[in-house]
Amino acid sequence: MNQPSWTPGELLQLSGGYWSVSALHAGVKLDIFTPLAHSGRTADDLAGDLKADARALAMLLNALTAMGLLNKEGNRFASVPFAAEYLSKDSGKYLGHIILHHHHLMESWAHLDRAVKSGKPLRQRSSHGEAEWRESFLLGMFNLAMLIAPQVVGDIEIGNRRRLLDLGGGPGTYAIHFCLHNPALKATIFDLPTTREFAEKTIARFKLQGRIEFVAGDFISGDIPGQYEIAWLSHILHGEDPVGCAVILKKAAAALEPGGMILVQEFILDDSLDGPVFPALFSLNMLLGTPKGQAYSQQQLFDMLSAAGAIEMRRLPLDLPNGAGVIAGWMPGGVSLDERQVA
């Protein structure tokens, strides 16, 4: 791949980039943006509500203003429209949960060198961790999926298939959007028992209780009940090594009827494994947080699907952020490739 040119200034800006990240995280943790989305406030006034030191809070508010997330008129601060839309808890587009998830990852990233030396994770998996971490992880995944799920689902034609398995679906965002886009579809979310509360709240929010069910289980150690025509696996393979991925894909394939469709969404590396940037860095995030997880290349995912019995794999022509992509494969039987209408 083409390597970018560097200047010392750019290198040092990259090295100190965590300063602005930490300011953003502090603003979200303190919930600064919610009150400032409604009216301008002084640092002294806001400090009383937040039980914060007024001098220190003024420093943070000024920094967030310099970063373009707040406006300042005189000594009063207010959220810019973008921050009011995405950083206020009162907004339906709130992204604070995924930002808090990123905050919880920072300590382990500060010691990446130790993980590289040991080859072992430095933190517990967020989906298995304490309640606060698990909540920010699950709701953060909901935040992200809500941004792109309508586009992804809208570009995938499932034909007359009527039963979908959302494997490791967390709060069920994709199952929900598949059902919203396909009125005859019913879905099952299969995930850990600790995820049930979040999933059922999300399903109820969209009034889909009659079409989406939650089944608790572990797709590594347990079996997947039921038979389906589509299996949707969004960002779960990267948590496992190739052996674990083989187990997951074999079980997903076994849950599909002949001719069933298997769809895998991941941050996909080039086959040379040295790009794009986000999947390459995400692989390090898996080093820090899982015993053997990593990002995979398109060819590696094709090979895994083939080993699980899928045929005629292809990467769907979707333009997704951060190097994400969706790979489709089919189980033998059913209609021919020419009859399959997949965008």
- Structure confidence at residue 343 (pLDDT): 41
182 and 154 Cβ atoms separated by less than 8 Å: no
- Structure confidence at residue 143 (pLDDT): 84
CB-side neighbour CA atoms (13 Å) of 88: 19
Fold match, 8-94 / 114-339: no
Q: Which CATH class is domain 8-94?
A: mainly alpha
Q: What is the CATH number of domain 114-339?
A: 3.40.50.150
Phi-psi region of 334 (alpha: psi -120 to 50; beta: other; left: phi over 0): left
The predicted-structure confidence for 106-127, as pLDDT tens digits, reads as follows 999 999 999 999 999 998 765 5
Q: What is the C-alpha separation between 160 and 301, in angstroms, rounded?
A: 26
User: What are the structural domain ranges in the chain?
Assistant: 8-94, 114-339
Does 96 have pLDDT greater than 80?
A: yes
**In percent, how much of the chain has pLDDT > 70?**
95
Does 341 have pLDDT greater than 50?
A: no
Does 339 have pLDDT greater than 60?
A: no
The predicted-structure confidence for 131-184, as pLDDT tens digits, reads as follows 777 788 888 888 888 889 999 999 999 999 999 999 999 989 999 999 999 999
pTM of the model: 0.90
How many CB atoms are closer than 10 A to CB 46? Answer: 21
- DSSP-assigned letter for residue 120: S
Q: Which whole number is the average pLDDT over 247-263?
A: 97
**Considering only CA atoms, which of 310, 316, 301 is closest in space to residue 334?**
310
194-198, 212-216, 302-306, 317-321, range with the lowest pLDDT = 194-198
